[in-house]
Structure 1
Amino acid sequence: MAAFLLVLLLSVCKTIAGIEMIPYTPRVSELNMEGKITGSTFALEPPNCIFDPFVNVSDNIWLVVTFINATAKFKNPTTPQKVPPYEELYSTYAYMTMKSTLSKYPCRKDKTGNVLRVGNESSCKNDDSRTHCNGPLPSAGPFRVKFLAMDSNGSKAETRWSGPITLNKAQPWQKVDTWPGRRSGDMIVITVILSALCGVVTIGFLSTVCYECFKLWRHGPPEGQEEQRPEAFQAGRYDTHHIPPAPPAPPPPPPPMDMSNPQLIS
């Protein structure tokens, strides 16, 4: 089965100017990921199991990046020394980057989660020693890309050009639309209701506090709690024992009579 598919694949390929056309179209990754396309980069699907019938292990595989209006003018380099560097993007509107070999794109299914990030090497942007830098893209494009295989004699095989790839373009902060009309109707209704309830609760709380403070200031202390003065505290009688009071003392007895006095006897 594998041999039949290989023969069928080879029969579909055709030769254009001595370069084999690989029936593959590069495309942006279909993975659900953040930052798939940014203002200076985009993520490509890796061309795994694409180059095996056409490329040897010693050949180099490049990614060609051009502006969409420079695709037709791009000429495949005839020698490795004529590979256009990153700096030519600003003059000829095309360059080649991501130099790799066949081992980079193995015919296995265990690397389906990988992506090729185009434009993510900002450190080599101004480094003259890195002529084939994968530097950030200077504008939103649109761009087109293709893979090109080269050996010591020059270009050997290539894929089709991708469709237009347009990067995100940052908007000036003055143009950011903050009008509530961009919100959904349900969100606006819920926000208004919650805001009104918070306002009613706040007004009620403040009104209650003000009323209580005014009532205390107007009428003095609450009823049943008269102001106490120091002279109001007087000591009362206190009996330590519940004993009735003693009866009055009897009068003293009369003096004794003198029997020797006759007058007192008569």
Structure 2
Amino acid sequence: MGGSRRLLFVLCFLRQVFYAQTDVPLLANSDFFTLNPTQTTITLEKPICMYRPAITVYLYGMVKGAPVLPLYDATTKKVFATNYSATNGGQLGPYQVASFNNPTCDNSIVLSNMADPTRVQSILTATTVRVGSDVGCLTDPNFKGICNAPLQSNTGYRFKYLFMDINNAVISETDWSPPIVTVNGNPSSTIDTWPGRRSGGMIVLTSILSTLVFIILFAYVVGFIFSIVNETPATEVQRHDTQSVPVLPKPQEIGDVTFSSALTGQERERYVAKQQA
């Protein structure tokens, strides 16, 4: 019974070694990384549940066509400390790109969790590795360690995973991936800004839109100024009590004579003489 269990364990171990050696680093899911590769970066999937006994994983990379040099000592299984600068960015041979803890099967990610904005970044960090994400390691003269420097545009790169045990010795590895080519970026000096290269319709449309915008802005400014100039402050009608004293008509007594002010002087004299007689 014990021999059967040991045999089963050996078979499982050899199966994991076989799959690890036949598998290769792959591009990350295009559903989450629509722009991959870019001009200077390549995002790869981490080897989740690829080789359980490993503690740490090393990612190596090199430019397509570079010599495939040994990555570790065949006797001690210790990796060679090759870096970005020493290999001229992978053109002279493989270099260490990154290292991380071996993702176990318990870290399997449910895609539905990507709908939670608070978990997106942690999920991407646990499942992917971005090659070319470190800019500062090239400019810092005191930097020591693995330099994950930006990649060259329009260049093919190949990658390999090494699986390390608790003593940091290689216990398994994948094959080199097929070349993954970064995006071809045009230098800014090659961008044509001469209007002669633009179509006539585009120039006419741009001119019309610019004129309309200017007219609208000018009308708005004129209307605003006109409203300020013609605006008069509101005045309140002042109210006060009259100071005039009403004059009451004098009661007419018997014998008083009233006559119209419309009579002429001669008519008035004749009328008065007649009354006296």
Residues 153 and 185 in structure 2, CA contact (< 8 A), matched pair in contact too: no
Q: Shift of residue 180 of structure 1?
A: 4.4
Given that 2:160 and 2:175 are in contact with CA atoms closer than 8 Å, whether structure 1 keeps it comes out as: yes
Q: Which amino acid aligns with 2:51?
A: F
Specify the code of the residue in structure 2 equivalent to 1:134.
N
1:133 equivalent to 2:147? Answer: yes
CA contact (8 A) 1:46 1:105 kept: no
8 Å Cα contact 2:79/2:170 also seen in 1: no
TM-score (norm 2): 0.54
How far, CA to CA, are the matches of 2:206 and 2:146 in structure 1?
59
* Separation of aligned partners in 1, 2:150 and 2:173: 24
Cα pair 1:61 1:99 within 8 Å, conserved: yes
CA separation of 1:105/1:37 partners in 2, compared to 1, >3 Å: closer, same or farther? Answer: farther
1:26–1:47: 8 Å Cα contact kept in structure 2?
Answer: yes
Match of 2:98 in 1: 98
Change in CA separation of 1:110 and 1:165 when aligned onto 2, cut-off 3 Å: same
SS in structure 2 at match of 1:144: strand
Could you tell me how far apart the structure 2 residues matched to 1:131 and 1:11 are? Answer: 33
Q: Post-superposition shift, 1:7?
A: 6.3
Structure 1 Cα separation of the partners of residues 149 and 106 of structure 2 = 28
Q: Which amino acid aligns with 1:123?
A: G
Aligned pair in 2 of structure 1 residues 108, 192: CA closer, same or farther (>3 Å)? Answer: same
Change over 3 Å in CA distance of 1:88–1:196 after alignment to 2:
closer
Structure 1 gaps of 5+ residues are 15-19, 207-243, 255-266
* Structure 1 pair 174–245 and aligned structure 2 pair: CA distance change class (3 A): farther
Query: Aligned match of 1:73 in 53, 64, 68?
Result: 68
Q: Deviation of residue 11 (structure 1)?
A: 4.6
Q: What SS is found at the alignment partner of 2:208?
A: helix
AA of the residue aligned to 1:67: V
Change over 3 Å in CA distance of 1:76–1:107 after alignment to 2: farther
The one-letter amino acid paired with 2:54 is N
Gaps in structure 2 of 5+ consecutive residues: 1-7, 112-122, 220-259
How many pairs align? 195
Cα RMSD, aligned residues only: 4.4
| Pairing of 1:8-157 with structure 2 (within 5 A) | 10-11=14-15, 14=18, 21-29=20-28, 30-33=30-33, 36-52=36-52, 55-57=53-55, 60-70=56-66, 73-78=68-73, 79-80=77-78, 82-90=80-88, 92-102=92-102, 104-110=103-109, 113-114=123-124, 115-125=128-138, 126-138=140-152, 140-151=154-165, 152=167, 154-157=169-172
Alignment TM-score, normalising by the size of structure 1: 0.56
1:197–1:22 CA distance, 2 compared to 1 (3 A):
closer
Q: CA separation of 1:198/1:136 partners in 2, compared to 1, >3 Å: closer, same or farther? A: closer
Q: Corresponding residue for 1:232?
A: none
Tell me if the contact between 1:44 and 1:118 (Cα under 8 Å) persists in the aligned partners: yes
Larger Rg: 1
Distance 1:150 1:128, change over 3 A: farther
Q: After TM superposition, which residue ranges in structure 1, 4 or more long, deviate above 6 angstroms?
A: 6-9, 196-199
For the structure 1 residues 48 and 107, does the alpha-carbon distance in structure 2 shift closer, same or farther, using more than 3 Å as the test? farther
Given that residues 119 and 137 in structure 1 are in contact (C-alpha distance below 8 angstroms), is that contact kept between their aligned partners in structure 2?
Answer: yes
Q: Distance in 2 between matches of 1:44 and 1:77?
A: 22
